[in-house]
Amino acid sequence: MQQNIIIPLIIFTTTLFMEMPAYAQAKTNLPADRYDTIIVKHQTRIVKKTPAVKEIILPAPEYINQPYYYDKNGNRLLKLENANALMIVKKKTLGLKGAKQSLVMDAPSSKIRFIAKKDIIFFIKTSGDVIDLTSYIKLYQFIQVEQKREATITSKEGVLSDKDLAKGKLISFNVKMISKDNYQVQLAEQLEAGEYGFIWVKNMELKEYTVFAFGVDWKSSD
């Protein structure tokens, strides 16, 4: 009786033991889960600061009704030469060759000179009662004549023409208000080398005028 019980138990145990390697092998052959790991290094973003643009405060003229040359590199104003000019009326050949009205200054050249021939800017401060500045002040080019400087203000041709009647010329410019009573004078074209002067023309009946004179010299490389 005991022998009959033992034999089946041995068979079951043996069968179970024989099947265990197959189960273990099957479990071992299952594909393992795979995980891809990406390591990202944290970098602090550097924000470049744009340097602040320094505001340039333009200088203001000290005296009214007097043009100043603006030195852009030094952000400063330079006074022009205050010269006296006589208004002279000349008639040639009793008026047959016409007549001219000219401003004549002593000395053939100005002591105040600028090398730059372009981007020449002037500042003018007024008393506040000027509506159109270009109607009150003019810029003339002066010509050297017999150790003097001369600019023709008006000329009238006569019966006989005279090519040498007019000397110098009127220079056009634009005016821009930069602050109350302060104006910036911008030239419409580049200035030639030579002598120049600003003149207030409110009253053209005077015999003597104040000219704010200056000279322009070109660089040797120009």
- Which amino acid makes up residue 96? L
- Helix (H/G/I), strand (E/B), else coil: 115: coil
What does the domain layout of the chain look like in residue ranges?
68-216
Residues 114-132 as b or e (16 or more Cβ within 10 Å = b) = bebeeebbbbbbbeeebee
CA distance 57 to 100: 44
40/14: higher pLDDT:
40
Question: What pTM did the predictor assign?
Answer: 0.68
The confidence band for 17, taking pLDDT boundaries of 50, 70 and 90, is very low
What pLDDT, in 10s, does the model give residues 142-186?
999 989 999 998 876 644 444 554 577 899 999 998 888 899 998
Q: And the tokens for 47?
A: 């924000």
Neighbours of 25 (CB within 10 A): 9
**Closest Cα to residue 182, out of 57, 54, 53?**
57
Angstrom CA distances, 185 to 37, 129, 205, stand at 71, 18, 26
